[in-house]
Structure 1
Amino acid sequence: MIGARTAQAVAGLFASVGTSGYGAALDRLTRIGAGFDMSCIFGFSATRPPVVIHDGYSETVDRRALRSYLRGAYQLDPFYAACIAQPLRPGLWRMRDLAPDAYYDAGFSGSHEVHPCISDQAGTLVEEIGYVLPLPDGFAATYSLMRNRGGALFDQPEIDRLHGLIPIVAASLRLHWTMLGSDSRPVTSPDPDEVFRTAFASLTPAQHAVTKLILRGHSNISIAGNLDITEGTVKQHRYNIYRRLGISSQSELFQRFIDHLGGQ
């Protein structure tokens, strides 16, 4: 038997489906499983722009970061990659289990300029976990739960409790998405790679492919495996990319991408 508090939270959640109060009601339910500082739900598609289903960020987070994220930085998010992967891997995931091998050195994970979960006031997140769930219309959703610096990692009992809520979270989210209707979906289908091509117009197609993986947080070895080329070839591409762009480091490459998103 579930407890009275959980039953009340589930009832409130389904009563809020299709309304602006859905995200807050979902947070009330999941906080029974584990506390967190911020939350969000994005609907992701491989061919259409992301949909903000729930914005539960702290008020200290800069809204400009969210705009830059939606303009293209979302493509650097491991949860986006998980949502468009085929086959989709639904469930509850720790960010670190989805992230590429050099993700935490790539810039995106700690940038308050393009990562909407980071701010100068809130500090770098100590951990982000997320439900990855399929939606109709070719979308999948990530419902992320985040703890700010100074907190603790989610422990195993918390993960287990949150995992037990997957059927409720999934059912309510699918229903909410359906009730929102097609008016909430982007109608355009831009090429997802266009943001990289316009940000780095002087690069060749092969260099664009390497640049995208660098920005997503892949090491040279990981890039070589993804593109089926040698590590030496990756290093040569990286050298040529930096030379063409007139930069000398990965941080400058990331800053070039940030500046492009901010100037759109």
Structure 2
Amino acid sequence: MQSISAQHNASENWQKELAAVIDTIRLPSFGGMLEKFLATQCHFDTMLVVTFRKSLKPLILHPTNPAEQSLTLHNYINRAYILDPLFNAIRSGTLGEGVSRLIDIAPDSFETTKYYQSCYKEFDLIDEINLVIELDPKVSCAISLGRRTSRGTITRPELNRLNTIYPVIKSLIRQFWWSQSQEFVKYEKSEGAMNQAISTFGSGVLTPREQQIAGLILQGHSSKAIANMLDISLGTVKVHRKNIHTRLNTSTQSDIFTLFLAHLKELDPTTS
């Protein structure tokens, strides 16, 4: 059992870290201080802070140091985010403010997608916890905390602590954004390409229904889930999937993903 002295020290540590975050709200070091504070509340291996605004590319608030930004992160920001369950849940309005886990918002077959394989499994991430904050009616911020297999999934006490401190984090992030947003807001004119990417994928080759189903497949929805979403039979979905592979000359979901990225690059060469 933790001693009273140890409990006091732990309490003192998180209070000092919180004070440091408040002191840096107007400074570039805010993200690093926020990461240290959150580390006093739960364990995690990676932390990413991004803003989402409609169909525009996500904006990285942390880490801002290029040396800390991997190729995978650049690929995510430039194109792969279109298939991100978090991005789609926020954009569709199905996920509001608060603390949630990826497992609670991801499509039922998400772990079979190429997106999951490249952005999660390849880096041995077993859990992701997201703190979503609305900055204004058009912009949302997400703090994503990743945990690797060796650390295991988040515990109930850790999740409870995050929920408890969420109002404080929400206030800190909003204050930071209101004072620093002009330093970050440089949204590119890629809205058209990003907004049209999935809806135009396979145009001229696939039927409108097949295009719709291909988009849902890319996002990680199973045939059963697609059938329920579109109110059609499971057999019909399977026929459409077979036709999609035939028309695109593909055999796996990974092949479709590769074609989709090539399509996105054609729409917007800046995503390369």
* Deviation (angstroms), 1:240: 1.6
The corresponding residue for 1:8 is 16
The corresponding residue for 2:144 is 144
- Out of 225, 234, 238, the residue aligned to residue 235 of structure 1 is 238
Corresponding letter in the other structure for 1:158: E
**Structure 1 residues 96-115: Cα deviation after superposition (integer angstroms, max 9, x where no partner):** 1111111111221121xxx3
Task: Give the Cα–Cα distance (whole angstroms) in 2 for the partners of residues 252 and 187 of structure 1.
Answer: 29
Q: Is the 8 A contact 2:199 2:215 kept in 1?
A: no
Unaligned 5+ segments in structure 1 are none
Aligned-pair identity in percent equals 28
Corresponding letter in the other structure for 1:151: R
**Matched pairs, number:** 256
* Deviation (angstroms), 1:238: 1.2
1:138-177 to 2 correspondences below 5 Å: 138-177=138-177
Q: Is the 8 A contact 1:39 1:57 kept in 2?
A: no
Unaligned 5+ segments in structure 2 are 1-7
**Structure 1 residues 15-71: Cα deviation after superposition (integer angstroms, max 9, x where no partner):** 2223321111111111111121110011112232211111289978742x2222122
Task: Give the Cα–Cα distance (whole angstroms) in 2 for the partners of residues 56 and 159 of structure 1.
Answer: 26
- TM-score, length basis structure 1: 0.85
1:91-170 to 2 correspondences below 5 Å: 91-111=98-118, 115=119, 119=122, 123-136=123-136, 138-170=138-170
The corresponding residue for 1:181 is 181
Q: Which has the larger radius of gyration?
A: 2
Residues 138 and 68 of structure 1, relative CA distance in 2, 3 Å threshold = same
- Out of 50, 53, 71, the residue aligned to residue 42 of structure 1 is 50
Residues 248 and 51 of structure 1, relative CA distance in 2, 3 Å threshold = same
The corresponding residue for 2:31 is 23
**Structure 1 residues 172-228: Cα deviation after superposition (integer angstroms, max 9, x where no partner):** 111111122345221533353422356534333322221111111101121122233
Task: Give the Cα–Cα distance (whole angstroms) in 1 for the partners of residues 125 and 116 of structure 2.
Answer: 9
**Structure 1 residues 67-126: Cα deviation after superposition (integer angstroms, max 9, x where no partner):** 221222112111112222325422111111111111111221121xxx3x665xxx3212
The corresponding residue for 1:78 is 85
* Deviation (angstroms), 1:247: 0.8
Structure that is richer in helix per residue: 2
- TM-score, length basis structure 2: 0.83
Corresponding letter in the other structure for 2:192: P
Corresponding letter in the other structure for 2:22: F
Task: Give the Cα–Cα distance (whole angstroms) in 2 for the partners of residues 21 and 71 of structure 1.
Answer: 25
